[in-house]
Structure 1
Amino acid sequence: MTAMSRKDAHPDSRPNRVSFPIMEPKEELMEMAVEARLAPERSLAEDYGQLVELQSAIGRVSRLLLDGGSLEQALDAMEEALGNPIAVFGSREGEWHSSGLRLPDASPSLAAVAAQVRRGGEPAAASGFIGTGNGRRAYVHCIAKNADLATAIALFEHNRPATALDMLTLARLSAFVDLEMANIDAVREVEGKYLELFLQDWLSGKIVSERDWTMRAEVCGCEIKRPGRLCVAVVGLEKAGGDAPDGTLAELSRRLRSGRRLPGRELLSAVYGSDLVLILSGDDGDGHDLSDAEREAPLRELLDELRAELSMPAVRLFAGRPVAKPELLPASLSQARRAQQVAEVCGLAGDVVSYDNLGVYALLYLIPGGEEREQFLRRYMAPLQQADRKGGGRLAETLEMFFRCNGNIKLTSEKLYAHYNTIVYRLDKIQSILGVSLDDPEDRLQLQLSLKLGQISPGSY
């Protein structure tokens, strides 16, 4: 050992002198040994660094929320910490996005995740990745696993792939999101009660000045920030599946009130009587220079949104005239209801029916009840009704269908599932009872007006 400790003048003959083989370790083997000794320390340092990042993100978000920050501000802080945009999806409606998802091109990705969460699919039952299109993914962490209250937070891989630390951070932060959403729901419930009372008073005409409107709107958190030009639209649900019960109307109103809208569009919904009513805000122009199609364009865009949001493709809209002052809104509601009634009883076509487009039907509504009106109905409608009650052969129905078919007897027989000669017989009988001629334009006008007037005011004859 003494010989080996000193500098050897003949190192090549050293194995022969000590009687056993001697090998000097290679440089790479020495580095591996050093790496093996340092690996546990490096792993511990990495774990500590990740723990510091996790605690920093949690602390930043918790302090922000405790200081009164909004959920959107908290999501912005999460996006900054995780390097990818974040979104929260509430039960059946309600979405909150970080800044990276507030762009128009983010809508397809948001829609893909929202569909999975609210359909009670796999992501709603457990955390995991789902595809969002264009080769991108989103990591979805379920907050509430109840199928009726599906709530989730999602991390979108827009900037970089999600790591295990990102998923753990998202899971820890979801607890703060859950508490904040519970707070939001509680505030909404209280504001919703005040807002519902405000809307009922507004539509019934109990708000008599713009000052009164402004004060009450601020108290209840009304989403229409400025009165502007307002109009009422009644949502027609009859052809979409029959009259909806009150509970269903209230649910539809709540969904519409909390749904996402196109930029610049303000909307309030309420159940008024047996109708689902929308209050819409528009620009301050008078609209006199616009064509009917241009005036109805915003309503048609809104209708497309409603059909997609409510999953009711047969929904229609009946709109009143815009008003310049909030206290005049009940007049717009009355006109919208009138447009709905006229369209339904008179068979007016169109997905959007405006009061201004009712034409002669609006004039018929203005005819006051009186002796002249009753005499007109008794002259043309009462004899047909009496004949039908005596078994005369559906004369009033045949006459109405005859006009709807533009005087085509063959088409009338097909619509009524009756023989051609039967329809001819009924029309002859109508002319005989009333003493009119269906070939005379003046007589045909009188008969059509009496039919429409009778439909608008049933039971008057």
Structure 2
Amino acid sequence: MAMMPRKEKAPGSQSEEVVFTVKELLAIPLLKEARLLAGEKGIHKAITRVNVMEVPDVISWVRPGEFLMTTGYPFRDEPELLRQLVPELVKRGVAALGIKTKPNFDKLSPEVVEEAQKHGLPLLELPGDTVFSDLVRIAMERVLAQETSQLADLQNRIQSMTRLLLEGSGLYAFLDAMEDMLDNPVAVVRENDKPWLSKSLRSAEPTEVWPLMQSLTFRQVGRGSSNGFMLLQNAYRIYVNSIPTRKMKQACLVLIERTRDIHPLDALSVDRLSSLAGLELANVEAVREVEGKYLDQFIQDWLSGKIVSEADWKLRADVCGCTIPEGTPMCAILVGWRAPEPAEKLREIARRLRSERLRTVEGLLAAPIGDDLALVLPIGNLAFSDLDREEATAQLTNKLLAELRALLGDRDLKLYAGRVVERSDGLQGSWAQAKRARQVAEVCGLPGEIVAYDRLGVYSLLYLIPSGEEREQFLSRFAAPLQQADRKGGGRLVETLEMFFRCNGNIKLTSEKLYAHYNTIVYRLEKAQSILGVSLDDPEDRLQLHLALKLGQITPGIPG
């Protein structure tokens, strides 16, 4: 995938930093005999420190901006290791690599030189009489002279950003100010959350920044919690620093190399400003926590019928930022899990669903209600242009289920939907229907990943039958005798009949499902018919017996 094009630096946006470069290093009298073998394009890289490498596993020790020196002794017998090391040094932001070839090498292998040239890493062949300690001293004197002025600039940067946060401008203003200061876009990337982006990325065309957004995830940016330069999968070079957080999800402050090269002072600024970003994140989290609790309570009161007037609903919806416009058709959905989820996890899932931008639906609301997770699904009027409402709602719910499964990582997740309502005060009934749909589906063993109340058919009627003498007489006639026979050791008659009806009267399939012999199933069915005085070949008897078994499983409901 093509890399996002670099933007030209705006004239006068920032003065050039005074730095000690690789080119200036080569001008030191001590290195007048040194040769630049590769990486001419990188000679303007800034050097911030000097390091000596005499072990092959140096990667975890190097730092951005280092001039790395070695006698080559660790690679004398395995020169291939040196070639493999070059791209890793580039990823770590090493400014240049100097190798004293004598006495361990006659000359560096062409493969090493080619690899350094490929990655733009300045590769220096140091004279055989080079004394590393003298070179370290001279180079660091130059570096420290530059750092004195840089520290003053860094202090000014920190003070200006601190004043911005104290004014309460917010996280986006903080990131925008950082972009102006560093001449490169910045982002806050957080675990299981969308990234916060500075202004040039927010205003860019989606097709332009889409490759970057695919890589700008915590899984890639925050892997290993490593700080420093990184190359993302799409070849973007970034500088990452972990944001200190307490009792919050992990996060990183990311500087993206887009307008110009990242200078050492820029990286140092990111390191220092990460703490300020952490304070602002904590503030965002606190606000989100309060808003989330208020929105949870609003949805709970809405679905339970505690908001009695339309005026109250409008007022509370406006205060808590409800994104469903007045007059939008909607329905309530209950999310079914394979196993009950703890209350804290339900609250976290609800917050995540509200913060994520789903492709399926705009304005989805979510809140925990007791041990359940409730969704308020707005149904756009455009969905009814070519389809009837029931079919359009079914299609939208199917798409929502697929996206929720991918987002939450639960392939066993199910949805139970109430009827679509036109007014906000009708959502209480839709929620009650969603709960009934789940109860009926569970006790009656209804198949399907989505169970809509309108498609329960006869089961919804059975649910609405209240307790009473007629109900008890019907159950006593068809269900109670079988249950009594089972308690006395009659041979699992109720279970066999239930499976018989589920298998559409297929005795062979019933025996396979119950792991029982065919003749055993025949015997049980005949015994049940004898006890009740009915015939399974009679459609009327068969219907009444089937209804009695289902009715016995359903808790009596209340019409409405």
State the TM bucket, normalised to the shorter chain: 0.7 to 0.9
- SS at structure 1 position matched to 2:241: strand
Q: Which residue of 2 aligns with 1:3?
A: none
Provide the C-alpha distance between the structure 2 equivalents of 1:341 and 1:263, rounded to a whole number of angstroms. 27
Structure 2 residue matching 1:228: 3-state secondary structure: coil
Deviation at 1:174, TM superposition (A): 2.3
Counterpart of 1:358 (choices 442, 445, 456) is: 456
Aligned partners of 1:367 and 1:262: how far apart in 2?
40
Query: Deviation string for 1:405-447 (max 9, x for gaps)?
Result: 1222111111111111111111111111122222223322222
Out of 397, 418, 422, the residue aligned to residue 495 of structure 2 is 397
- Residue equivalent to 1:302: 400
Equivalent-residue separation in structure 2 for 1:78 and 1:396 (angstroms): 71
Does the Cα contact within 8 Å between 1:384 and 1:396 map onto a contact in 2? Answer: yes
Structure 1 residue 69: Cα displacement:
3.1
Structure 1 CA distance for aligned equivalents of residues 380 and 546 of structure 2 = 39
Farther off after superposition, 410-419 or 342-351: 342-351
Question: 1: CA distance between counterparts of 2:446 and 2:261?
Answer: 55
Aligned partners of 2:247, 2:316: CA distance in 1, in Å?
A: 37
**Residue in structure 2 matching 1:449, options 547, 552, 557:** 547
Among 514, 526, 534, the residue aligned to 1:428? 526
1:268–1:278 contact (8 Å) kept in structure 2: yes
- 3-state SS of paired residue (1:392): coil
Give the Å deviation of 1:355.
Answer: 1.4
**Cα distance in 1, alignment partners of residues 520 and 360 from structure 2:** 58
Match of 1:265?
A: 362
Superposed, which structure 2 residues align to 1:7-406 within 5 Å? 65-93=165-193, 95-102=195-202, 104=206, 106=209, 109-110=212-213, 112-116=215-219, 121-123=223-225, 126-144=226-244, 149-157=249-257, 162-224=262-324, 226=326, 228-237=328-337, 239=338, 242-262=339-359, 265-284=362-381, 287=384, 289-290=387-388, 292-406=390-504
- Superposed displacement of residue 449, structure 1: 1.8
What secondary structure sits across from 1:208 in the alignment?
coil
Deviations 1:78-125 (A, max 9, x none): 34554544321335435322345556555665454434279x7313xx
Change (3 A) 1:145 1:198: closer
Q: Tell which deviates more after alignment, 88-97 or 428-437.
A: 88-97
TM superposition shift of 1:173: 3.1
- Cα deviation, residue 334, structure 1: 0.2
Mapped partners of 1:131, 1:353: distance in 2: 47
2:165 & 2:420 partners in 1: Cα distance?
41
Shift of 1:318: 0.8
- Are the aligned partners of 1:109 and 1:133 in contact in 2 as well (CA < 8 Å)? no
Indicate if the aligned counterparts of 1:393 and 1:426 stay in contact, CA closer than 8 A: yes
Q: Is the 8 A contact 2:190 2:218 kept in 1?
A: no
Counterpart code for 1:143: I
Separation in 2 of the partners of 1:368 and 1:287? 36
Distance 1:326 1:339, change over 3 A: same
Question: Does the Cα contact within 8 Å between 1:138 and 1:154 map onto a contact in 2?
Answer: yes
Report the TM-score when normalising by structure 1: 0.78
- Displacement of 1:385: 0.8
Structure 2 distance, partners of 1:406, 1:330, is: 36
Instruction: For residue 149 of structure 1, give the secondary structure of its aligned residue in structure 2.
Output: coil
Structure 2 distance, partners of 1:210, 1:306, is 31
Instruction: Give yes or no for the alignment of 1:419 onto 2:485.
Output: no
Unpaired segments ≥5 residues, structure 1 = 1-31
Question: Residues 192 and 218 of structure 2 are in contact (CA less than 8 Å); yes or no, is this contact kept in structure 1?
Answer: no
Q: Please list the CA deviations of residues 28-78 of structure 1 after superposition, one character each: whole Å capped at 9, or x if unmatched.
A: xxxx89xx9xx99x9999879977986786677556545543423433443
Mark the structure with the bigger radius of gyration. Answer: 1
SS in 2 for 1:243: coil
Instruction: Tell me by how many angstroms 1:298 deviates.
Output: 2.3
Gap change, CA 1:399 and 1:138, over 3 Å in 2: farther
Partner of 1:11: none
Q: Contact 1:92–1:150 (CA<8 Å) still a contact in 2? A: no
| Structure 1 Cα separation of the partners of residues 398 and 201 of structure 2 | 27
- TM-score w.r.t. length of structure 2: 0.66
Q: CA–CA distance in 1 between the matches of 2:466 and 2:214?
A: 52
CA RMSD in angstroms, aligned pairs only: 3.6
SS at structure 2 position matched to 1:133: coil
Query: Cα 1:321–1:263, aligned 2, differ >3 Å: closer, same or farther?
Result: closer
Q: Aligned pair count?
A: 419
CA contact (8 A) 2:360 2:403 kept: no
Q: Given that residues 175 and 198 in structure 2 are in contact (C-alpha distance below 8 angstroms), is that contact kept between their aligned partners in structure 1? A: yes
Cα gap change, 1:130/1:110 in structure 2, threshold over 3 Å: closer, same or farther?
A: farther
Q: Distance in 1 between matches of 2:513 and 2:556?
A: 23
Q: Percent identity?
A: 54
- Kept in 1, the 8 Å contact 2:361–2:400? The answer is no
Moved more, 360-369 or 126-135: 126-135
SS at match of 2:217: helix
SS across alignment from 2:187: strand
Give distance in 2, aligned partners of 1:76 and 1:389. 74
> Does the Cα contact within 8 Å between 2:419 and 2:453 map onto a contact in 1?
yes
CA contact (8 A) 1:84 1:156 kept: yes
Shift of 1:187: 1.5
- Is the Cα contact below 8 Å between 1:131 and 1:137 reproduced in 2? yes
For residue 148 of structure 1, report the CA deviation from its aligned partner: 6.2
CA contact (8 A) 1:113 1:130 kept: no
Which shifted more, 261-270 or 429-438? 261-270
Does the C-alpha gap of structure 1 residues 294 and 83 become closer, same or farther in structure 2, counting only changes over 3 Å? farther
Looking at structure 2, the residues matched to 364 and 83 of structure 1 have their Cα atoms a distance apart, in angstroms, of: 68
**C-alpha distance in structure 1 between counterparts of 2:230 and 2:404, whole Å:** 27
Contact 1:209–1:326 at 8 Å: present in 2 too? no
Give the AA of the match of 1:219: V
Whole-angstrom CA distance in 1 between matches of 2:269 and 2:165? 16
Q: Structure 1 residues 213 and 291 mapped into 2: Cα distance closer, same or farther (>3 Å)?
A: closer
3-state DSSP of counterpart to 1:369: coil
